[in-house]
Amino acid sequence: GAVVSQHPSRVICKSGTSVKIECRSLDFQATTMFWYRQFPKQSLMLMATSNEGSKATYEQGVEKDKFLINHASLTLSTLTVTSAHPEDSSFYICSAGQGRRETQYFGPGTRLLVL
Amino acid sequence: SQQGEEDPQALSIQEGENATMNCSYKTSINNLQWYRQNSGRGLVHLILIRSNEREKHSGRLRVTLDTSKKSSSLLITASRAADTASYFCATAPTDSWGKLQFGAGTQVVVTP
């Protein structure tokens, strides 16, 4: 299947700093990328949907100014957690889709710990 | 928002036994997908079943879908210790293409 990578896999930062997470589709062009958040022992919650070249669509309750999403190319989307706080500590997972195809390909996730 | 409810929340079985987990959802869907997640890792896509399908097989996996009851089941036959993981169902609603809504997950432990 298609491969999606995330970088970094793990990051620890101080409260108040910003953290950027990259999501790359390695062997296909991803017209749409999705960002999810997963707290320990919980399910994945969709945060936002990004289409290449346009603004991201955020789910209700997700602050767009806090979670900046950029999808500048068909193979790269970035999520920046601005002014991170301990409550932002979570597992962030991206997925990538092609056109109207049903299957999404998930990245390995990024574990963020804010001290 | 989280659409699916999964049952049971946790399942502990011995190698060789079958594992069955269920998923219920609320809205109309295009398809329903099952994923597996090892602790602290990403998701692995297992199987996709479309709304006009009732049953699907893939290796030791068997998935059923009952759209009248808005429910699905995943059966893992002849389980192995390596099947230990969390299993999630995810629905693709008809009114929002691509936006998967995940269930709460079933944590499966298979002991040798």
pLDDT tens digits for B56-91? 999 999 999 999 999 999 999 999 999 999 999 999
Chain A residues near residue B1 by CB distance under 8 angstroms: 59-60
Identify the pLDDT of residue A41.
84
Judge whether residue B41 has pLDDT over 90.
no
Q: What is the largest CA-CA distance in chain A?
A: 40
Query: Between β-strands A10-13 and A110-114, what pairing exists: parallel, antiparallel or unpaired?
Result: parallel
Give the separation between CA B2 and CA A61, rounded to whole angstroms. Answer: 13
Q: How close is the nearest chain A Cα to the Cα of B15, in Å?
A: 24
Task: Report the C-alpha gap between B79 and B69 in whole angstroms.
Answer: 27
Closest CA–CA distance from residue B93 to any residue of chain A (Å): 11
Give the model's pLDDT for residue B1.
38
Mean pLDDT for B7-12 is: 92
Task: Give yes or no for residue B100 having a pLDDT over 70.
Answer: yes
Hey, is B1 helix, strand or coil?
coil
* Burial of residue A43 (number of CB atoms within 10 Å: 0-12, 13-18, 19+): buried
Our CA-based measurement puts residue B85 at a distance from the nearest CA of chain A, in whole angstroms, of 12
Cβ-Cβ contacts under 8 Å between A and B: the total is 59
From residue B50, alpha-carbon distances to A5, A36, B72, B90, B98 in Å are 27, 23, 11, 12, 14
Residue A115, number of CB atoms within 10 A of its CB: 10
Task: Give the percent of chain B with pLDDT over 70.
Answer: 96
- Which residue is it, tokens 């990004």? A50
Which has the higher per-residue pLDDT, B1 or B78? B78
> Residue B33 is encoded by which pair of tokens?
């997908």
Residues 17 to 76 of B: which have CB under 8 A from any A CB? 30-31, 33, 35, 40-45, 48, 50
User: Which of B109, B48, B43, B45 has its CA nearest to residue B79?
Assistant: B109
The mean predicted confidence, pLDDT, of chain B is: 92
Taking CA atoms, what residue in B is nearest to A3?
Answer: B44
Nearest-CA distance B102 → chain A (Å) = 6
Residues of A in contact with B104 (CB under 8 A): 42-43
Q: Going residue by residue through chain A (115 aa), what tens digit of pLDDT does each one get?
A: 678 999 999 999 999 999 999 999 998 888 899 999 999 888 999 999 998 888 899 999 999 999 999 988 889 999 999 999 999 999 999 999 887 677 889 999 999 999 9
Q: Which residue of A has its CA nearest to B4?
A: A43
Cα–Cα distance, B24 to B72 (Å, whole number):
6
Q: Do A105 and B45 touch (CB under 8 A)?
A: yes
Q: Give the nearest partner residue to A100 out of B1, B42, B97, using CB atoms.
A: B97
From the list B2, B30, B50, the residue facing A43 with the nearest CB is: B2
